[in-house]
Amino acid sequence: MSLDQLLSLSQTLKLSPTLLQSMHILQMNTLELAAHLNELALENPTMEYAEGHDSSWEDFSSRVSWLRDTPAPSFDGEVSADLGMVQAETEGLDFLLGEQLARLSLSPPLAALCQYLVEQMDYRGYLDPVDLDGLRRAGVPEDLLNQAVATLQSLEPAGVAARSVGECLALQLRRRPDGNDLAVSICLNHLDGLAAGHYQALAKHLSVTEAEIREAETLIHTLNPDPVGDAAPPEQTEYIRPDAWVAEIDGELRVFVNQWDLPQFQVSQTYLQMLRESGDPEAVTYLKEKVQQTQWVLQCVRRRQNTLETCLSALVSAQEDYFRGNVPAPGPLLRRELADTLGVHPSTVTRTLGHKYIQCRQGLFPTGYFFSRPLGLSLWSEQAVKARLRALISEEDPAHPYSDQALADLLAKEGVTVARRTVFKYRAALGLPNSRRRRK
């Protein structure tokens, strides 16, 4: 065995910390960038807020009719690092039920069991039958267990401590003056059949008329399967601000990148003067590093704004018919096609437009809404097919609604071939029921 030394040339890409920061800033949406800049300003004394009122929003919104009633964006210099986080409520479901139990004169064993069951409830206030079976196996008397469940089900809100959706609805019905035994029976024993629209079979089984079944269904629809939602612990709230607006001004579609929700920073003149006049080498080194960091960050922000505007302008040009209101949905478009138009790598488009939102006169949309593969050999996008499905269903005869196969046949006549299962998937995504449920 011999050891040889060989020379070879190769290209490698090493990402410096500054380049990584530039890519990180490029991928941020407006609110994330605002919070990030605010954090940097806390660490870097050379970053200071730029004073002065920016009147460009008033000029922009006054020229766009659908923006005139929109509140003006404003940055007050106080962007939290935990933006979008909701402070937990101190009075959740456990507290609410515990307060009611404390006002009842319960025996110590019953009170202890009720409190234990409260702690076992899920976030909707439901009891898991598996947990109750575990208590039975542990030796808890059946009478005491039933008494504890009944006690909890008597509390507010109505429907709490239910063991199923049907029982939750039945508990609500029993407290209402317009509740009836038929509706309660359906909730407890025949909810699946009602959901499937088996009105005739239910009427025959319960020895009532079909009209009575439909009347009970109307009553059941007024109930809430999640009656303790307001008392449940709050989830994290996602705040959304447009990263850009697309508006038609003087017949021209224009992109306005959101700069009004961002804090405006500049290099502090006070610290620049200290840098020039200081005779302390350690202070000079520190200030020079911080000034360079501020200048680089501000440069990255400007580059992000320019790159975002360039990509969105190309996107608007590719989907011009939609933004002008000539078609009900965007056409097919791939990120690779947009990258080829701009002469950049597809990853640049993905990083720039990822997690961003555009507001136009049609509404507020994530940028991903405007990208879709063409369906088959047609020029239809997934969004266009969904829009057409919604229109066909809204125009159908309620007494004879279209089946999924009939909808697929109608789309085929218009030039787009999709399978029945695809129609089912799109219809479900739109939240539209099947033909049996739409029949009136």
Kind and range of the H or E run holding 366 = strand 363-366
Laid out side by side, the sheet with 244-249 consists of: 252-257, 244-249, 357-360, 363-366
Kind and range of the H or E run holding 15 = none
Q: Residue 72 — very low, low, confident or very high, per pLDDT cuts 50/70/90? A: low
Q: How many whole angstroms separate alpha carbon 434 and alpha carbon 261?
A: 43
Quote the DSSP letter at residue 105.
-
The dihedrals phi and psi of 401, each to the nearest 5 degrees, come to -70, 155
Q: How many whole angstroms separate alpha carbon 287 and alpha carbon 362?
A: 49
Same-fold call for 93-163 versus 377-438 = yes
- What are the residue boundaries of the structural domains of the chain, listed by start? 17-79+240-363, 93-163, 377-438
The per-residue b/e assignment along 71-85, b for 16 or more CB within 10 angstroms, e otherwise, is eebebeeebeeeeee
SS3 95: helix
- List pLDDT tens digits, range 38-60: 999 999 999 998 876 666 778 88
Q: Pick the range with the lowest mean pLDDT from 71-75, 144-148, 245-249, 345-349.
A: 71-75
- List pLDDT tens digits, range 369-393: 999 888 766 778 888 888 889 989 9
Q: How many CB atoms lie within 10 A of CB 223?
A: 20
Q: How many whole angstroms separate alpha carbon 121 and alpha carbon 110?
A: 17
Which of 83, 13, 73 has its CA nearest to residue 262?
A: 73
Quote the DSSP letter at residue 67.
G
Which of 180, 148, 176 has its CA nearest to residue 161?
A: 148
Q: How many whole angstroms separate alpha carbon 426 and alpha carbon 420?
A: 10
Give pLDDT, residue 86.
39
Instruction: Give DSSP secondary structure letters for 220-244.
Output: HTTS-S-TTGGGSPPPPPPP---SE
92 pLDDT higher than 90: no
SS3 80: coil
Q: How many whole angstroms separate alpha carbon 395 and alpha carbon 410?
A: 13
Q: Using the structure block, give the residue that is written with the tokens 């208590």.
A: 135
Q: How many whole angstroms separate alpha carbon 84 and alpha carbon 239?
A: 6
Quote the DSSP letter at residue 97.
H
Q: Residue 96 — very low, low, confident or very high, per pLDDT cuts 50/70/90? A: confident
pTM higher than 0.85? no
Which of 164, 186, 161, 163 has its CA nearest to residue 173?
A: 186
- Name the CATH topology of 377-438: Arc Repressor Mutant, subunit A (1.10.10)
Q: If you classify domain 93-163 with CATH, what class do you get?
A: mainly alpha
84 pLDDT higher than 50: no
Give pLDDT, residue 83.
42
Q: How many whole angstroms separate alpha carbon 274 and alpha carbon 272?
A: 5
418 pLDDT higher than 90: no
Across the chain, mean pLDDT equals 84
Q: How many whole angstroms separate alpha carbon 438 and alpha carbon 69?
A: 37
- List pLDDT tens digits, range 99-144: 888 888 888 889 889 988 988 888 788 888 888 888 888 888 899 9
Q: Residue 87 — very low, low, confident or very high, per pLDDT cuts 50/70/90? A: very low
